[in-house]
Structure 1
């Protein structure tokens, strides 16, 4: 049973949307509002499909029950920027967009597409979220984005049986992780399944190594392209990552096999019916695939350890997330802003947390709302990291560099996986691509 918190920060502005019970001591219950938005339509666009869309619909339904609004979700597919731009040009702009990349949020704001969030929403963000999340939603001093859903991208998932059979435990350093992987490989099973067919997974590998090894200040500078990709710290991180990529024993199928493996396939190689590897690095969403596709019990058949510290650095916490923004050209500004104010509350986060497949950066959400011990652990780790969390670097970059299949960082790191022998050359290629994209 979901345990709801009874106090909403910044609820003055929510009275209109949620009714008097939202500001009192009682629970916010379905239908408890005064239906002030009754009959008003609300279009919310986002990338989600499948189970994510189904679970987000529960959040929309809860908002509808409380306010009388009629929200509708529209899936944009991966290319949010193009789809939303087309809808704006066609006079059919959605009211709210769930933006999955910091770079896209910044692009939307600089294009003049967004309304700043209301004072009530900003007050709630200040109370319920670590400042880093507000920073990632802010452009030129104005708060435009509310981070509702987050990912913990510093988790290494493994088969407990595979590690036990090899006689290795959870490593605490990157060096120990490679040593444990070698022991696993010697036992006859590849150490890691790497989803090299999806370039975004390789950017996540790099970012974890770089954040721990180089530190948060250089990470921030590189993310903003204030530091060149030819910097010695980048070459060092690529060299460190290359220690894994060049060892064919450690990779399931070697480099060629990794380049032919997409993300779902990488999970299958560890948790599927015919395992080929003991471990797979990626975010907390690995658990959803392992559970839904292969029936694994999370915390028993599938476990994780934190991405280990590199060269004496701090263990990294890299995150991603989806931010709610309000479009100027939407047809119902009042309902849109009320919805974002609702998303900033722990009540809204609790709806999806109870459904599963979700992490919230909202520190006021009761961790017991999550349905299993492992999800609670990843959520607590994310919240406890506070301002040391760093947003996925490629998601902060212009899409031409950090988010385009077959181009930019994705393609260059795939080439590096194929041949990791020259980190300096790879760094130079990354800098050339970044300079072009940031200039554009």
Structure 2
């Protein structure tokens, strides 16, 4: 799956947020475990597992290589595929547990902690998180009052990507509200392109559409309650959000190819419909990672041929900032968990984040990272938006749910929202089905 500050604001950090290009000094928690010239981990190997493949895996390897140069440790990365929970469980049972896992879902992190698989993170990492991350990132990395996960890579999932040429041709500007976005979409459609390309074949993209609308429309308190299943999916606020989404889904002017084609379009295909050689739509909603696909697969120059505007506020609410992310956790059963803990300490530094930021396709929630580390103005803007949102960031709701409800192809929320895309006429009925599936999943979890 593609997927996603500050208890203490120093004057330097404030300047970073304001200007986006000011360097800040920082302590190096890893230096005690082996700074340059002190290769205290020489001869040791740290095994890291995560979902990343392709360019993401290559760029993360650059971070691991920087850690090796600093400490002398060797590293080995193992790709798990999307089903992290099952793969890691099998490795633990087989006596072959990795030392560190990059966990892409809050629900999976909580599951690992409750099974007793994780080591609490070190005092050095806790200090870095307390100083350089918004409290919300500590919350999503903790179970109870214990910090188990360090969010290294984040995704900004409240970005609508567009072709500047398509909007210019239609004579429209990036909209300031959700209603204006739909109006602009009709104008784009009148000019010869569909408004939106929707990746309905991948159910996770539909959950992201819902979450942005819901967070803006219903507000953060209800979002948090629904994410924890303390609020039922049959609540009127859910039905209202589904109604709002359904109006977009059933509007043939707005969807490239209509509902049927949307259901046969995966995420890369949705980006291709906007930024590929034969554009069919002017806009595609998804996270900051759209830019990487537009550039790497279709040769688009980000900032010139591809740009974004923030997901606009809905019905007078606040503009949503929904995020995802990958958290580094240390397994108790790893053969070299002590060295793994030092790797996580390194990942908590702006130095480590800067390695991947320079390579591209990356956002860090670490506010101590100099925004100049990012390679282009558009990425700097998305990073600034994410960091600047502070505690108003909300983690992807489906990633907080049990995987059987919020993270599995063909079942739960993914399938039910695909069914809703196919026929958006019954928001109440869809809400009831979502509640039934959620109740079953949360009961099974606990």
Q: Provide the TM-score with structure 2 as the length reference.
A: 0.94
Q: Distance in 1 between matches of 2:37 and 2:119?
A: 25
1:3 Cα shift? 9.0
Q: Distance in 2 between matches of 1:40 and 1:121?
A: 21
In structure 2, which of residues 186, 197, 201 is the aligned counterpart of residue 197 of structure 1? 201
Q: How many pairs does the alignment contain?
A: 424
Q: Judge conservation of contact 2:22–2:371 (CA < 8 Å) in 1.
A: no
Matches within 5 A, 1:243-322: 243-322=247-326
Q: Distance in 1 between matches of 2:357 and 2:195?
A: 32
For each residue in 1:224-267, what CA deviation from the matched residue of structure 2 results, as whole angstroms up to 9, or x when unmatched?
00000000000000001111001011100000010000000000
Matches within 5 A, 1:16-415: 16-19=32-35, 32-415=36-419
Q: Judge conservation of contact 1:17–1:33 (CA < 8 Å) in 2.
A: no
For each residue in 1:317-347, what CA deviation from the matched residue of structure 2 results, as whole angstroms up to 9, or x when unmatched?
0000000000000011220110000100100
Question: For 2:284, what is the secondary structure of its paired residue?
Answer: strand
Question: For 1:280, what is the secondary structure of its paired residue?
Answer: strand
Q: Judge conservation of contact 1:5–1:346 (CA < 8 Å) in 2.
A: no
For each residue in 1:100-123, what CA deviation from the matched residue of structure 2 results, as whole angstroms up to 9, or x when unmatched?
000000000001100000111101
Q: Judge conservation of contact 2:26–2:368 (CA < 8 Å) in 1.
A: no
Counterpart for residue 7 of structure 1: 26
Q: Distance in 2 between matches of 1:58 and 1:377?
A: 24
For each residue in 1:335-380, what CA deviation from the matched residue of structure 2 results, as whole angstroms up to 9, or x when unmatched?
0110000100100000000000000000000000000000000000
Question: For 1:297, what is the secondary structure of its paired residue?
Answer: coil
Q: Judge conservation of contact 1:150–1:358 (CA < 8 Å) in 2.
A: yes
Query: What stretches of structure 1 of length at least 5 have no aligned partner?
Result: 20-31
Query: What stretches of structure 2 of length at least 5 have no aligned partner?
Result: 1-20
Question: For 1:296, what is the secondary structure of its paired residue?
Answer: coil
Question: For 1:73, what is the secondary structure of its paired residue?
Answer: strand
1:17 Cα shift? 2.1
Q: Distance in 1 between matches of 2:26 and 2:203?
A: 43
Q: Judge conservation of contact 2:50–2:101 (CA < 8 Å) in 1.
A: yes
Q: Distance in 2 between matches of 1:59 and 1:351?
A: 6
Q: Distance in 2 between matches of 1:199 and 1:15?
A: 43
Counterpart for residue 16 of structure 2: none
For each residue in 1:274-306, what CA deviation from the matched residue of structure 2 results, as whole angstroms up to 9, or x when unmatched?
000000000000000000111101001001000
Q: Distance in 2 between matches of 1:406 and 1:33?
A: 52
Question: For 2:409, what is the secondary structure of its paired residue?
Answer: coil
1:33 Cα shift? 4.0
Counterpart for residue 436 of structure 1: 440
Q: Distance in 2 between matches of 1:243 and 1:8?
A: 51
Q: Distance in 1 between matches of 2:377 and 2:318?
A: 24
Cα-Cα RMSD: 1.1
Q: Distance in 2 between matches of 1:354 and 1:137?
A: 25
Q: Distance in 2 between matches of 1:163 and 1:196?
A: 23
Question: For 1:377, what is the secondary structure of its paired residue?
Answer: helix
Q: Distance in 1 between matches of 2:34 and 2:394?
A: 33
1:4 Cα shift? 7.0
Q: Judge conservation of contact 2:33–2:71 (CA < 8 Å) in 1.
A: yes
